């Protein structure tokens, strides 16, 4: 029993064997082809045997693979007894722990999670807020949401979508801003990881520095807090347009001077390298990628 492989690897192997294709197995399990392939590779390493002959896109069971298929019903039944969970074909469950950027989590991910959990009701999901990249090896996170360049040591990244930054203010504040110099003399409310935002604004609008002294900026950690402060009339904010769509539509905020800057950075989903993804994690990565296509 100590040699029993993981249930996720066995289910991936079963689907690939029945479909004679990693791609078709991935479609059956609602995962990526890469996730299924990695699970099979992990199973092969666990057993010390090759289970498939790979011939381009085609696969066929080896003798060891055929032997495992004959043993598989017993192994799955044993795993079902140990886990207390049914091992039906295509079932995806277990824990999934995600590190999520706070505003991304509340504004974009949370409204969509009901659909994900309806598709995968057996997944036990945990969300925690993290702003900066961390060492996956020192944590038990399965995946994380990252904003920036596609750079994260020890992780592989899949791009979700880009971002357009706009300058916004409460209507009463905006009424007094006619030129970039007017804006630069205001107090700026900035997200802590984007301290260069005012310089980007000035460069984008080709605005010279104001003659009068400017007010010191106010720095906050979360865009949600930034939006509330700017809405109170405390100053000007630079914020991703997607996070203020409701405020703009309701007239609580207005955009300034036509500023709309497409950022070079983007949102990504990050997963650790050197660690086989669980089926739950692979399902999430595929699902969020599909959701991002329409974002």
pLDDT digits (tens, 9 = 90+) for 182-208: 898 899 999 988 878 888 888 888 877
Going from N- to C-terminal start, the domains of the chain cover: 7-83, 93-162+267-293, 164-262
Q: Any idea how long the chain is?
A: 295
What's the CATH architecture for 7-83? Orthogonal Bundle (1.10)
Q: CATH fold of 93-162+267-293, please?
A: D-Maltodextrin-Binding Protein; domain 2 (3.40.190)
* 8 Å CB contact between 253 and 244: yes
Cα end-to-end span (Å), the chain: 46
Domains 93-162+267-293 and 164-262 share a fold: yes
The CATH code belonging to domain 164-262 is: 3.40.190.10
User: With a cut of 50, which residues of the chain have pLDDT below it?
Assistant: 1-2, 79-90
227: left (phi over 0), alpha (psi -120 to 50) or beta: alpha
What is the structure's pLDDT at 38?
86
Tokens of 164: 């357009």
Q: Residue 113 is inside which H or E element, if any?
A: helix 110-119
pTM score, two decimals? 0.65
What is 68-87 written as a DSSP string? HHHHHHHHHHHHHHHHTS--
Residue 84 pLDDT: 43
- Residue labelled with tokens 């057996």: 122
For residues 204 and 55, what is the distance between their CA atoms, to the nearest angstrom?
53
Position 4 scores a pLDDT of 60
Contact 129, 102 (CB under 8 A): yes
pLDDT tens profile 113-127: 998 988 888 889 999
* β-sheet bridge partners, residue 155: 272
- pLDDT for res 162: 93
């Amino acid at each position: 029993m100590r040699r029993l492989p993981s249930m996720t690897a066995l289910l991936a192997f079963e689907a690939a064997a029945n479909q004679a294709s990693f791609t078709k197995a991935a479609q059956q399990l609602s995962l990526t082809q890469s996730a299924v392939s990695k699970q099979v590779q992990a199973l092969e390493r666990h057993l010390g045997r090759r289970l498939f002959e790979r011939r381009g896109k085609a696969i066929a069971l080896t003798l060891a693979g055929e032997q495992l298929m004959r043993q598989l019903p017993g192994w799955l039944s044993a795993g079902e007894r140990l886990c207390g969970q049914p091992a039906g074909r295509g079932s995806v469950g277990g824990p999934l722990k995600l590190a999520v950027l706070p505003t991304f989590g509340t504004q974009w991910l949370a409204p969509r999670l009901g659909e994900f959990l309806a598709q995968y009701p057996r997944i036990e999901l945990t969300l925690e807020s993290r702003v900066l990249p961390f060492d996956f090896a020192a944590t038990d996170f399965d995946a994380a949401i990252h904003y920036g360049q596609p750079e994260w040591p020890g992780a592989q990244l899949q791009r979700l979508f880009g971002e357009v930054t706009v300058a916004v203010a409460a209507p009463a504040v905006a009424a007094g801003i006619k030129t970039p110099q007017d804006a630069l003399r205001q107090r700026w409310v900035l997200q802590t990881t984007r301290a260069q935002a005012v310089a980007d604004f000035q460069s984008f609008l080709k605005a010279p520095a104001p003659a009068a002294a400017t007010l010191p900026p106010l720095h906050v950690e979360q865009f949600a807090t930034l939006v509330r402060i700017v809405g109170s009339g405390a100053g000007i904010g630079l914020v991703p347009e997607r996070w203020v769509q409701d405020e703009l539509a309701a007239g609580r905020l207005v955009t300034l001077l036509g500023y709309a800057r497409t950022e070079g950075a983007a949102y990504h989903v990050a997963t650790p390298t050197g660690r086989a993804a669980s089926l739950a994690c692979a399902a999430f990565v595929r699902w969020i990628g599909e959701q991002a296509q329409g974002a």
